Amino acid sequence: NAGVTQTPKFRVLKTGQSMTLLCAQDMNHEYMYWYRQDPGMGLRLIHYSVGEGTTAKGEVPDGYNVSRLKKQNFLLGLESAAPSQTSVYFCASSRPRTSGGNTDTQYFGPGTRLTVL
């Protein structure tokens, strides 16, 4: 049981280049999330998905697109990378909110460190 995995671990891009980050989870979780982590700012939600084929914007969605074609995978795309997108990107997954109303735990991947020159 690998949990949440992210590919690649590191990447360097030039301004204007595109790339896709892959997140995969083997816990059969319905919900998946993409965050970025910047020094002194904690984690901020970029996009999230509550199920296969559905996505929604988070707090900082500009410049990113996502897709959830399969339940176990959540892709984050940068169409035209900018230096402001230099960050560490984390993917997470969770089960749906329980019938009793409790928010469920998010499980995180190891992160992707992206540098845009």
Does the footprint of another protein cover residue 53 (CB under 8 A)?
no
Does the footprint of another protein cover residue 96 (CB under 8 A)?
yes
Site residues (CB under 8 A) for another protein, limited to 60-89: none
* Contact assessment for residue 67 and residue 20, using Cβ atoms and an 8 Å cutoff: no
Strands of the chain (E only): list them: 4-7, 10-13, 19-25, 31-38, 42-51, 54-57, 65-67, 73-78, 87-94, 107-108, 112-116
List 13, 23, 33, 55, residue binding another protein (CB under 8 A): 33
Beta-bridged to residue 8, according to DSSP, are none
CA dihedral 67, 32, 83, 61 (to 10 degrees): 70
Does the footprint of another protein cover residue 94 (CB under 8 A)?
yes
List 42, 62, 69, 99, residue binding another protein (CB under 8 A): 42
Task: Name the token pair of 95.
Answer: 């089960």
Query: To the nearest whole angstrom, how small is the minimum distance from the Cβ of residue 2 to another protein?
Result: 12
Rounded Cα gap, residues 76 and 11, in angstroms: 14
Does the footprint of another protein cover residue 31 (CB under 8 A)?
yes
Q: Name which of 17 and 52 has its Cβ closer to another protein.
A: 52
Residues lying near another protein in the complex (CB under 8 A)? 4, 31, 33, 40-45, 48, 50, 56, 58, 90, 92, 94, 96-97, 102-111
